[in-house]
Each structure stands twice: as structure tokens, then as C-alpha cells.
């Protein structure tokens, strides 16, 4: 089961990494708010169609029993997605992929703040290395990267919250159903925000087939494998494998757009420092204890 979990984690990394490239492509045709709403709305449509075809009664029952869980995890994911798309829009896919690795460090910080876990020397060393990497990236090419770094770090914090919630809920909701419940509430939150602030824009019909394919690969398959990995192995092991994401994104960028979206040497060095810092922080840190404890916090009840 452990080996299967690691395989699922590797597959999730391959599929989820496509999202950075796809998002960059579609943001050439619309704004982040419109793409966000379409992305998760279509993801829900695909996932619920599959679930209803498999077992409609069970699906309806699960939605009725776990709508509150969906509200919480969907809200966290909506915040994460909002910042994530904005970061890609500002700094591009590869740099965002490096910076959102801070989510692992934020998971550990959440444990220190809420669970009174001890701050170890490797935590301090890893966080320092990662922060140096973030500073190298943010000062590599003007003010726009500084803003992009802050937005990406905000996305990382929201992603960390989403990952902790996912580890809790995947124990009682199967992965595909969790994807469906998460995406419907995420889409609702994002649509409400976009409509309230008049952010909705037209989206070219010619791009819809590719958008459906992108969402099926990233938002459906990617997260099904991710949740399945969380179900079978510790979140720390999944997070270690997910540190490969930025380098996979670079490979995708090379294959699809040549050198257009490849970071500069300085930006790559900063991104590598971020990943190195994350690995140092994770090494030996008992994230499993945090996850076991966090599920008993009253606001997860």
C-alpha cells in the first residue's frame, strides 16, 4: 500500500504540474477570475457526471452528509486558487511553481502556532534557506516579481490549509467524490466573487475543447491521485515528492513553449533554494503527528 501511495503521489505531481502551463495559456484569453470560475465549474461537471453514472444514490447521499465539509474545503481551495492564478498571471508558471512549495513550510508553521509544536534547528535552517530563495526570486527583475512573490506566498498559505483539510476529509470521503464536493463549492465562491466585483469576461468558444482536456488532466486526474496518495501514505512523503513539481513544470515549459517561460539563471537558483529549504525543513519533522492532532481541532468538527 505504501508503494502504491508513492506511485499515486508521483502521478499527481505529473498531472498537477500541467496546471501551471495550461493556466498560463488560457490567461492569454481571459482574466484570472473568469478562468477560475470556468476551471472549477467544468471540473465539477465532469466529476459529478462520472459519479452519478457510477452510483447516483450513493453520490447524492454523500453530498447530503458532507456538504459542510465541502463548504470548508471548497472555501479554502477558492482562496488558494484565486491567489494561484493571480501569481501565474504576474510571474509566470515556472516561478510560481517554485514559490508555492512554501506550502509545506506553512503546514509546519501551522503546527507550531496551533499545536504548540517545538521549533527545531532544521526548521529554522530550512525556512531561512527558502526565504533567501524567495528574496533572490523577488529581486531578480523589478517590482512585478516582488508583488508576484507575495501573491504566490499567499497562495502557499491557502494551499497548506487545503492540504491539511484534505488529509482529514479523505479518510471519510473517496477521492473522486471529494474532488466533486470541493469543486462545486470552490466554483460557487469564485463565481460569487467574480460577479460581485464585475470581473467576468467572455471566453473564446474555440478554446473550450482544450479547456475541458486541461481540467480533466489537472483538476480531476491530478487531484484524484493526490487525494489517493494522502489516503495511503503520510502527507510528509507526498510533500517530498511534490517538491519535484517546479522542475516538471520547467520540462513542460521547454516542450511546449521552448525557452519563453524558462526562468533566468538567477531565478532558477532562487527557486532551487526554495525547494532545498523545504526539504531541509521537512527532514526529520514529524508532520504526521500534526495531521493526527489537527483533525481533533474543534473547527474541523
* pLDDT given for residue 199 in this prediction: 93
198: phi > 0 → left, psi -120 to 50 → alpha, else beta; which?
left
Flag whether pLDDT at 176 surpasses 80: yes
Confidence of residue 181 (pLDDT cuts 50, 70, 90): very high
Q: List the grid coordinates of 190.
A: 469564485
pLDDT in tens, 36-45: 999 999 999 9
Flag whether pLDDT at 195 surpasses 90: yes
Residue of 261 and 223 predicted with greater confidence: 223
* pLDDT given for residue 95 in this prediction: 85
Q: List the grid coordinates of 122.
A: 532544521
Confidence of residue 281 (pLDDT cuts 50, 70, 90): confident
Min mean pLDDT across 116-120, 283-287, 290-294 is at 290-294
- Rounded (10°) CA dihedral 26, 27, 30, 34: 90
CA-nearest of 297, 273, 287, 299 to 108 is: 287
- Prediction pTM value: 0.79
* pLDDT given for residue 207 in this prediction: 96
How crowded is the C-beta side of 183, counted as CA atoms within 13 Å?
26
Question: Per-residue pLDDT averaged across 257-285, rounded?
Answer: 74
Min mean pLDDT across 205-209, 225-229, 261-265, 292-296 is at 292-296
Count Cβ atoms within 10 A of the Cβ of residue 153 and give its class: 0-12 exposed, 13-18 middle, 19 or more buried.
buried
Flag whether pLDDT at 136 surpasses 70: yes
What's the Rg (C-alpha) of the chain? 18
* pLDDT given for residue 38 in this prediction: 95
Flag whether pLDDT at 206 surpasses 90: yes
pLDDT in tens, 224-258: 898 888 788 776 677 778 888 888 888 888 887 65
CB atoms within 10 A of CB 247: 18
Flag whether pLDDT at 299 surpasses 60: no
CA-nearest of 181, 185, 223, 187 to 63 is: 181
Instruction: Check: CB of residue 155 under 8 Å from CB of residue 40.
Output: no
Confidence of residue 22 (pLDDT cuts 50, 70, 90): very high
* pLDDT given for residue 260 in this prediction: 64
Amino acid at each position: 500500500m505504501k508503494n502504491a501511495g508513492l506511485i499515486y503521489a508521483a502521478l499527481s505531481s505529473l498531472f498537477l504540474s500541467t496546471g501551471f502551463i495550461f493556466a498560463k495559456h488560457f490567461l492569454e484569453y481571459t482574466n484570472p477570475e473568469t478562468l477560475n470560475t470556468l476551471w472549477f465549474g467544468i471540473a465539477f461537471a465532469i466529476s459529478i457526471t462520472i459519479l452519478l453514472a457510477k452510483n447516483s444514490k450513493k453520490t447524492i447521499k454523500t453530498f447530503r452528509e458532507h456538504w459542510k465539509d465541502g463548504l470548508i474545503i471548497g472555501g479554502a481551495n477558492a482562496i488558494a486558487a484565486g491567489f494561484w492564478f493571480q501569481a501565474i498571471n504576474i510571474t509566470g508558471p515556472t516561478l510560481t511553481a517554485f514559490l508555492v512549495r512554501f506550502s509545506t513550510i506553512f503546514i509546519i508553521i501551522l503546527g507550531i502556532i496551533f499545536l504548540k509544536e517545538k521549533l527545531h534547528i532544521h526548521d529554522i535552517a530550512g525556512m531561512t534557506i527558502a526565504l533567501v530563495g524567495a528574496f533572490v526570486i523577488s529581486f531578480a527583475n523589478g517590482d512585478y516579481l516582488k508583488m508576484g512573490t507575495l501573491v504566490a506566498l499567499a497562495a502557499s498559505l491557502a494551499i497548506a490549509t487545503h492540504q491539511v483539510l484534505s488529509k482529514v476529509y479523505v479518510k471519510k470521503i473517496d477521492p473522486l467524490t471529494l474532488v466533486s464536493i470541493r469543486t462545486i463549492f470552490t466554483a460557487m465562491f469564485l463565481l460569487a466573487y467574480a460577479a460581485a466585483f464585475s470581473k467576468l469576461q467572455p471566453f473564446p468558444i474555440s478554446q473550450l475543447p482544450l479547456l475541458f482536456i486541461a481540467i480533466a488532466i489537472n483538476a480531476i486526474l491530478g487531484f484524484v491521485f493526490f487525494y489517493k496518495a494522502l489516503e495511503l501514505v503520510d502527507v510528509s512523503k507526498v510533500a517530498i515528492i511534490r517538491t519535484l513539481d517546479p522542475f516538471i513544470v520547467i520540462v513542460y515549459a521547454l516542450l511546449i513553449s521552448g525557452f519563453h517561460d524558462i526562468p533566468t539563471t538567477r531565478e532558477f537558483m532562487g527557486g532551487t533554494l526554495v525547494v532545498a529549504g523545504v526539504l531541509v525543513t521537512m527532514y526529520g519533522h514529524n508532520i504526521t503527528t500534526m495531521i493526527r492532532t489537527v483533525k481533533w481541532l474543534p473547527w474541523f468538527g
